């Protein structure tokens, strides 16, 4: 195994890219429980890797990691089109305020308030740059 594969991996599922950048990566892996579960020979492109990554959360009934939960929820709902009627994979009841650093109670909502804002800005950007 190479030096990159010998490093300590987190227990939560991760997408691992091999290459100089995300755009030029040619090999992908998925790790879970600190071990690589899907080798580069098994995952041929980023779409397959993303499917395995999201599938692992559902098969093993895992919650998204708090620091990435909003982004993963957006990808799940708006790009992958997995839209449950109720519930969420980011169910932490408390979080750390970015402004004050103190522990605060999270708002209960099916979709993060940041997602519609992001999608609106993305649509405006596409409209402005499509000419």
How do residues 63-75 score in pLDDT, each as one tens digit?
888 888 888 888 8
Query: What pLDDT band is residue 1 in, cutting at 50, 70 and 90?
Result: very low
**How many whole angstroms separate alpha carbon 64 and alpha carbon 66?**
6
Closest C-alpha among 34, 35, 30, 29 to residue 11 = 34
> Which pTM was predicted?
0.58
- Residue 3's pLDDT is 45
DSSP class of residue 28? E
**How many whole angstroms separate alpha carbon 114 and alpha carbon 78?**
13
Q: Return the higher-pLDDT residue of 127 and 83.
A: 83
Percent of the chain with pLDDT over 70: 72
């Amino acid at each position: 195994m190479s030096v990159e594969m010998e490093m300590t991996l987190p227990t939560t599922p991760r997408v691992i890219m091999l290459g100089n950048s995300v755009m030029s990566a040619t090999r992908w892996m998925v790790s879970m429980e600190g071990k690589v579960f899907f080798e580069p020979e098994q995952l041929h492109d980023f779409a397959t890797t993303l499917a395995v990554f999201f599938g692992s959360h559902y098969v093993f009934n895992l919650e998204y990691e708090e620091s990435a939960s909003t982004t993963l929820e957006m990808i799940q709902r708006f790009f992958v089109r997995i839209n449950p009627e109720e519930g969420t994979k980011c169910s932490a009841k408390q979080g750390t305020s970015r402004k004050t650093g103190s522990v605060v109670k999270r708002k209960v909502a099916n979709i993060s308030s940041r997602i519609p804002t992001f999608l609106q800005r993305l649509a405006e950007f596409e409209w402005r740059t499509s000419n």
